Amino acid sequence: MAKRLLITDPWFYALAIPAFLLTGISKGGFASGAGNTGVPLMSLAIPVPQAAGIALPVLCAMDLVALRAWWRRWDPALLRALLPGATLGIALGWAAFGFLPDGAVKLLVGGLTLLFLLRTVLSRGDAAGAAPSAARRWLLSAGSGFSSFIAHAGGPPMAMLLFPMRMPRATLSATTVAFFATVNFAKLLPYGALGVLSAQNLLTSLVLLPLAPLGIRLGIWLASRLSDRAFYRVVHVLLLGTSLQLI
């Protein structure tokens, strides 16, 4: 049977649509540490590499919208310090991508998500303004680049690095957006070389693309009107159930 040019499974879209809306809302600056729900949720319906390939073009579109909204509000010195480690992580992720079976990647994604949730609980006791050491900065930025390449799951290591610094909310959101925009666009060429940007995946990305500006705009709107707390609770419960299912 010929392979379909577009994913038509309703279960996939039932997972992908809310996942990308929540991701866009987070990228828009509302609860910016809520995590990327796209790949974990889609991985319940399709293999992780395919979910990652579908997600990347949509994430890049979200990044463009978010960069415009947060333009030049990031910390440039911090970004310069983070990107070398992220580049190393991307290179390691590229090398490992073809060797990890789908089951191992699902375990990795589920484990990283649980790690993110654990960090959320423990971070309540973080000291305000704590500056990371150079070793911690390299380790967590490389871990973020690696897990971002494997499954767009770079949020947990980066949250562990940035949240204890207690930056102003706008600076945190803008720096996070600029960091992952750089990382995501850097992944396009390796993803193309690995074959995960197939015609089927790109066409499915195109169908989901309208969710990018919609989610970002919702995030920007909510950030100026509502507390993050309720949104964090919804997303974290969703991520907890998804991570346990993946594991």
**Confidence label for 2 from pLDDT (cuts 50, 70 and 90):** very low
In this predicted structure, what is the pLDDT of residue 228?
Answer: 60
The residue that leads in pLDDT, 238 or 99, is 99
Look up the pTM and report it: 0.80
Q: Among 62-76, 103-117, 193-207, which is the least confidently predicted range?
A: 103-117
Q: pLDDT (tens digit, 9 = 90+) per residue, 90-130?
A: 999 998 887 777 677 777 767 777 876 776 676 654 445 56
Average pLDDT, integer, range 160-185: 84
177-214 CB burial, b ≥16 within 10 A, e <16: bbbbbbbbebbeebbeebebbeeebeebbeebeebbbb
Q: Specify the 3-state DSSP secondary structure of 46.
A: coil
CA-CA distance, 19 to 26, in Å (whole number)?
A: 11
Classify residue 79 as exposed, middle or buried by CB count within 10 Å of its CB (0-12, 13-18, 19+). Answer: middle
CB 62 within 8 A of CB 27: yes
Q: Tell me how far apart the alpha carbons of residues 26 and 37 are, in angstroms, rounded to a whole number.
A: 10
